[in-house]
Chain A
């Protein structure tokens, strides 16, 4: 069997059973990178030597019985907005072109303690602002299912790397759908956990009240296993929460009596008919397994995107003020005085989409507009949260598409930002309400591109969506692109 087809948990078991070593698994991934990375470009940085060295160290600890966890020795890719000590961390931005952190993000530390082998850092939309991975300062990532198409974003590199077999699993981050939408486009599984579940320490902030780190992998079992490892209560992140993290307990093929609601608002105008058909077919599978499925009106769906862009841009304008050419990153070559240095460094270092959001954020926070825009958006957020609270009084899981369409072609999205933002309609409200959401592949369209099913749970109820996702997954074969003509 081609080991690259193994899930992360399967590979971990093979390493434990001495069928192969962590070094062999790492080498297999590096060979795969050699053959497909020219086309896919999932990575900003690949640390070949570091990964092989680490794999050997970890193998020794496995042999000595020091590392016994399910993912010991399994190669992973990390989105390039998480700090990794000694390894370039760019956020896919020119402004961090030379930033080598002196500390490691807490989620990555948790993985390292579990014996992960870090292969490198994955490409993304600059500062996670975008839905296609085309706003990266280091070139576009291509969809492994069809290189003419985008992988989605902003965690496009992480999702493409998993789909293409360039790692066994990856970490992504999700502020408005940045794990779930590219997972859908790339035919992989990804979870955005309840806000506060995974520490944001060392995650370069975009919209702090919305950002969460989460797993991207080949199946639900992998995602639950990874999430169990990265979730932790961390005093270094004051929004981190203490909670149950027994996610793998939910890996049972049983949805009898589970109440599943499909928002009618998620099936209306703008939804590709092929995506709709696949989503409803997935609901039928769960219904046949004993779930009680019905449609309902969630309401307020169309207000989530405008509220999100106010809140996320406002937080971004504040968070990104730290990039000023003083403490790290890019400093302009020519300037006159301190203020001009700030301005020039930022103007030369940030790309157009990042500047657009910083400008909008600065505007909505400025005096005279703060109440009309920022507070209005926070009030809308409260109403959206209430709508979900009402829904979860009736349902255990909300089911719908992750995206209205499958992966668009490269170059088709950036010319009309608002149109691109509208593509986040099914994912964005989940971040506003702090809820957990998961994408599970559920079919292919007639162009041969993957379709993703989104399952949304109430706060801290990851186990409901994991159980539903796992049960659904038992009904289908794992999908991997053949990548003929790419290697």
Chain B
């Protein structure tokens, strides 16, 4: 395996991904990601110099509309699936002491 994923990298990616992996999952993730990156490195065979990155296949850019309100108060619907709610708002653990 050409790409060796360190413990630090997996730790860092776990922070970015907001995932908490068990020791076993971490080992698996290190090897999985290393193998995937080895495979993805195949792209380096291609000369892409001067090629613009293509994010959209059609020449569609920002789609604008008039700045008018089209939706109404949808609070009840938005809260319908909340794991916890209070006083018409999402409830989360205390974040500020």
Contacts and interface: CB of A to CB of B under 8 A. Distances in A.
A362 B65 CA distance: 32
A324 interface: yes
Contact of A98 (B62, B81, B90): B81
A interface secondary structure, majority: helix
Contact of A382 (B20, B41, B53, B77): B53
A241 B63 CA distance: 11
B37 to A, nearest CB: 8
Given A343-B20, A346-B18, A347-B21, A99 B40 contact: no
With most chain A CB atoms within 10 A of its CB, the pick from B25, B53, B82 is B53
B39 A306 contact: yes
Contacts of A478: none
A347 B92 contact: no
Contacts of A362: 13, 16-17
Interface residues of A, number: 73
A363 B33 contact: yes
Interface in B27-43: 28-29, 32-33, 35-37, 39-43
Q: Across chains A and B, which 6 residue pairs bring their CB atoms closest together, nearest first?
A: A378-B53, A434-B57, A328-B81, A379-B48, A331-B83, A382-B54
B56 interface: yes
A326 B16 contact: no
B43 A343 contact: no
Contacts of A165: none
Contacts of A221: none
B82 A328 contact: yes
Contacts of B84: 331
Interface of B: 9-10, 12-14, 16-21, 25, 28-29, 32-33, 35-37, 39-46, 48, 51-58, 60, 62-63, 65, 77-78, 80-84, 90, 92-95
A359 to B, nearest CB: 5
Nearest to B40: A306
A313 to B, nearest CB: 9
A307 B43 CA distance: 7
Interface stretch (A63-71, A167-175, A369-377): A369-377
A303 B43 contact: yes
Contacts of B25: 352, 355
A382 B51 contact: yes
B46 A383 contact: yes
A481 interface: no
B53 A379 contact: yes
Contacts of A360: 33, 36
A90 B81 CA distance: 13
Which of B10, B25, B58 has its CB near the most chain A CB atoms (within 10 A)? B58
A338 B43 contact: no
A382 B52 contact: yes
A196 B57 CA distance: 10
Given A102-B78, A238-B63, A310-B43, 12 more contacts: A102-B77, A102-B81, A306-B41, A337-B95, A355-B19, A356-B32, A359-B32, A362-B13, A363-B9, A373-B40, A380-B46, A382-B51
Interface in A339-387: 339-344, 346-347, 350, 352, 355-356, 358-366, 373, 375-383, 385
A21 B17 CA distance: 51
12 contacts: A98-B81, A302-B42, A303-B45, A309-B36, A310-B43, A336-B93, A338-B95, A355-B29, A358-B17, A373-B40, A375-B53, A382-B54
Contact of A326 (B32, B36, B83): B83
Contacts of A309: 36, 39-40
A217 B84 CA distance: 41
A321 B18 contact: yes
Contacts of A196: 58, 60
A364 B17 CA distance: 12
A341 B93 contact: yes
A375 B40 CA distance: 13
A244 to B, nearest CB: 15
In this complex, the member of A324, A339, A459 whose beta carbon has the largest number of chain B beta carbons within 10 angstroms is: A339
